[in-house]
Every structure is written in structure tokens, then in C-alpha cells.
């Protein structure tokens, strides 16, 4: 399985990657990381992923904008939204996308 973790916080990316590797240790797993939306878009043009872990709030383009881009581009992915923010509007918008 291929996973893409998109988060501007390096420690959050690394911790999530380590957690996935631990849980999926019996399987062939490839984990890619992107620190921002522009980098994620480049990676997404080259590879298909089984699951994308997407931080909602990032500087510049945010995770919601990327989710909207994926929808408009007819690129369908299983997306797990992650965020350290308690603002419900972000989660609500993520569900809509």
C-alpha cells in the first residue's frame, strides 16, 4: 500500500509515518511525505496512493484547498483529515469536500 502524509509539521509527519509502519509491519508499505500543498501536487501527478493523510491547516495553500483540487481534477483518494485545531468549520468543510 502507498500512503502520502501531507503536513507542514515535520515531527507530526515523522510520528505518523512511524505509526503507520508499526501498524502495517506485516505488509508491503510505501510512505511518502510532503511538507506543503505544492509539493503534494507534484507527488500526486506522479504516483497514486491508497490513503492520503492530510493536515487541514497549513501555510499557503491549505489541506482543504488540496481536497477541493483533487475533487475538481476527478482524482479520487481515501483521505484521512488530521488537524490539531479545534475549529469545527475546518472539519465541516473537509466533510463537504
- Model confidence at 6, pLDDT cuts 50, 70, 90, reads very high
Neighbours of 76 (CB within 10 A): 9
Contact assessment for residue 43 and residue 4, using Cβ atoms and an 8 Å cutoff? yes
Helix axes 88-96, 63-72, angle to 10 degrees: 10
Instruction: Give 4: exposed, middle or buried? Use CB within 10 Å, 0-12, 13-18, 19+.
Output: buried
Percent of the chain having pLDDT more than 70? 86
- Residue-level pLDDT at 64: 85
User: Which helix (DSSP H) or strand (DSSP E) does residue 54 occupy?
Assistant: strand 51-55
- Residue-level pLDDT at 84: 67
Amino acid at each position: 500500500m502507498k500512503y502520502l502524509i501531507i503536513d507542514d509539521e515535520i515531527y507530526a509527519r515523522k510520528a505518523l509515518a512511524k505509526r503507520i509502519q508499526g501498524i502495517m509491519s506485516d505488509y508491503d508499505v510505501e510512505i511518502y511525505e510532503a511538507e506543503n500543498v505544492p509539493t503534494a501536487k507534484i507527488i500526486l501527478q506522479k504516483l497514486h496512493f491508497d490513503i492520503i493523510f492530510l493536515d487541514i491547516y497549513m501555510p499557503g495553500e491549505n489541506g482543504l484547498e488540496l481536497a477541493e483540487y483533487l475533487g475538481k481534477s476527478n482524482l479520487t483518494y481515501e483521505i484521512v483529515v488530521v488537524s490539531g485545531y479545534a475549529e469545527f468549520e475546518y472539519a465541516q468543510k473537509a466533510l463537504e469536500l
